[in-house]
Amino acid sequence: MLRYLLDLKHLFKRFVLIANVMPALFGFFIALKYYELSFMEYIGDFVLLTVGSNLLVAGSLALNNWLEADVDRLMERTKDRPTVTGSMSLRSILTIGIVLSIIGEILLFTINIEVGLLGFIGWYTYVVVYTVWTKRRFTWNTHVGSFSGAVTPVMGWAVVETSTLHVIPFSLFLIMFLWQMPHTYAIAIRKSEDYARSGLQMLPVIKGYQTTIRRTAIYIGLLVILPFMLDSFSMFFYLVISVLNIGWFIVALIGFKASDKKKWARVLFVSSLIYLLSVFIIYLIFV
């Protein structure tokens, strides 16, 4: 049983699972606060969102493992996945991915059509467009993966308000999209040897570290100016989030002069997690 649970942990990429579900839950609570609604009125939908999004993301990650079994065998970072160790058959992993994805989608559609459609868009973009089509062919595969992740807070918002044509979910989508680029680049720099062996078209491998750091600075720079392109927030919101954005931008700039790029990438990675959590907390406080 313990071996099976460990296999599932590696199959579902535990921290990736959490990082994808968390924005959906924050989007839900931000919408509740904005519209001044009671959590108890939506507790049923909250349960469906939590379970459905977890199952859908877990299913997509299992399918990602199944589709990348060949390259995972070439990388140190994926050596413990059941697709590499052989502790689970590829057919079993495919079945798990399909079944969890279907059940997750059904639960999300039970909430409302908008949530179900947004969940499907995120799943399809990640599994088909990102994993199948772009990851082995183009360095801009990261943009596709970022789009998939950026849908999640909007999905959470749609549980409460089906119209997502609003500045708050729109800004959360943009933040999530821009945030994922430096976050993913940090991983790609740290694991560049793995990606080089695998043949996956990651930017640090194809274009080098300096280009990747330059792109990182550009995307975080866009995060710095993004709040001022949006209306209807308080002055305190702009002040606090600007301090946060500038702080992260400084981390990006340090990368140009860092003698140890991988050490800098570790700092960038950790700071990206702190940044994202801080952004959601700021939204919860100030919306």
Instruction: Output the pLDDT for position 4.
Output: 62
Q: Which of the four CATH numbers 2.40.280.10, 3.40.50.920, 3.40.1440.60, 1.10.357.140 does domain 1-163 have? A: 1.10.357.140
Q: Does domain 166-287 have CATH number 1.20.120?
A: yes
Can you tell me the distance from the alpha carbon of 196 to that of 176, in angstroms, rounded to the nearest whole number? 27
Instruction: Give how far Cα 235 sits from Cα of 12, 223, 227, Å.
Output: 41, 17, 11
Can you tell me the distance from the alpha carbon of 206 to that of 199, in angstroms, rounded to the nearest whole number? 10
Instruction: Output the pLDDT for position 235.
Output: 87
Instruction: Output the pLDDT for position 76.
Output: 85
Instruction: Output the pLDDT for position 1.
Output: 57
Residue 25 amino acid letter: L
* End-to-end Cα distance, the chain: 45
| pTM for the model | 0.93
Instruction: Output the pLDDT for position 5.
Output: 63
- Token output for 79: 């050596």
The overall average pLDDT reported for the chain is 92
Instruction: Output the pLDDT for position 233.
Output: 80
Instruction: Enumerate the CATH 1.20.120 domain ranges in the chain, comma separated.
Output: 166-287
Query: Per residue in 111-151, pLDDT tens?
Result: 999 999 999 999 999 999 999 999 999 999 999 999 999 99
Can you tell me the distance from the alpha carbon of 287 to that of 275, in angstroms, rounded to the nearest whole number? 18
Instruction: Enumerate the CATH 1.10.357.140 domain ranges in the chain, comma separated.
Output: 1-163
Residue ranges for the chain with pLDDT beneath 50:
none
Instruction: Output the pLDDT for position 198.
Output: 86
